[in-house]
Amino acid sequence: MYSFSILRLYLISHLYIGRNPPCQKEDTPADGPVCSALELQSRAIVPGSIRIVYAIIYSLFLGFGITIGAVLYGMFDDNAVSTTSCTNSIPAHYTFIFVPLFVLCISILYQAKWRQMPVMLVVAFAGYVVNYFSGLRFSAAPQVANTLGALTVGVLANLYSRLRHGVAAATLIPAIFTQVPGGLASTGGLLSGLRTANALTNSTHSVNGTSSVQYSEGESLNTVVFNVAASMIQIAIGIAVGLFISALIIYPLGKRRSGLFSF
């Protein structure tokens, strides 16, 4: 299923967009590992263990699907390329425009109350801004950017809960979705799948001056799959650590009325 999803993405880009498609980000399912990390740190061992095992298996399927899907497309298209930089990338400042629209759609999808949506928009936008500029500063360690972004949304959501007696978890959910997309790509999980695809299809060349992925000898498909799984777990741990630090800042002595994280 995952292999054909990646293959379908490449085919649509080739047939309807052309040889130089715009950059696309895959939405990685890291919300499951985030919930599992939060449950494990809350000493909910049984549900946290179940979620983390499911997340690891799902990540292995995703890594295998990314590699096989890229290989299948390389077999069909002799001119397939695997450049690591975007030729028609959207300017960065346009992403700030679409973040509120994305959060609004997520809030409607999860049937949030209209009076909660302004707070959700502010919290999610602030977290995305911190994550974006932190990613530029700590490009070598993208997990730090995820931690700082989660720390920002956690502080704002818990502060709203403490001052207005609202539910912090309901405010956090749309903001967490703005932290997850692109995290797997930034850690190199997607690029690791292209290494094996290049070795199998022998299409390691450059286009328009951009360099292609370099394949290291001896790297097997198992290594690529486990790299994707490890990248997703690192993203989840970084977000969970940021949320817990924010809870310690706002509620240093704990929360009396309800739990800090009630998902």
Q: What is the per-residue pLDDT across 218-263, written as a single tens digit (0 to 9) for each?
A: 455 556 556 666 777 777 778 888 888 888 888 777 666 555 554 4
The answer, yes or no, to whether residue 10 has pLDDT greater than 70, is no
Using 50, 70 and 90 to split pLDDT, how confident is the model at 201?
low
The answer, yes or no, to whether residue 127 has pLDDT greater than 80, is yes
**Lowest model confidence (mean pLDDT) among 28-32, 66-70, 231-235, 239-243:** 28-32
Partners of 57 in the β-ladder: none
Residue 222: its H or E element: helix 221-250
Q: Is residue 6 part of a domain?
A: no
Q: Is residue 238 part of a domain?
A: yes
CB atoms within 10 A of CB 45: 10
pLDDT in tens, 39-54: 766 667 788 788 878 8
pLDDT in tens, 168-194: 777 888 888 887 755 455 455 555 556
Whether 114 and 193 share a structural domain:
yes
Q: What percent of the chain has pLDDT over 90?
A: 3
DSSP-derived 3-state class of residue 212: strand
Closest CA to 132 of 174, 171, 176, 93: 93
Count of the separate structural domains present in the chain: 2
What span, in angstroms and rounded, lies between the C-alpha atoms of 67 and 195? 9
Whether 108 and 62 share a structural domain:
no
Whether 76 and 132 share a structural domain:
no
pLDDT score, position 206: 41
**Lowest model confidence (mean pLDDT) among 27-31, 34-38, 232-236:** 27-31
pLDDT in tens, 134-174: 888 887 777 788 889 889 998 998 888 888 777 777 788 88
Residue 176 and residue 261 in contact, taking contact as beta carbons nearer than 8 Å = no
The answer, yes or no, to whether residue 100 has pLDDT greater than 80, is yes
Q: Answer with the one of 54, 80, 106 that is the final residue of a domain.
A: 80
Which residue has better confidence, 206 or 172?
172
Q: Which residues contact 174 (CB under 8 A, 6 or more apart)?
A: 103, 106, 107, 110, 112, 120, 123, 124
Residue 116 and residue 170 in contact, taking contact as beta carbons nearer than 8 Å = yes
Q: Is residue 4 part of a domain?
A: no
Whether 191 and 153 share a structural domain:
yes
pTM over 0.85: no
Q: Cα dihedral angle (235, 240, 246, 252), rounded to 10 degrees? A: -150
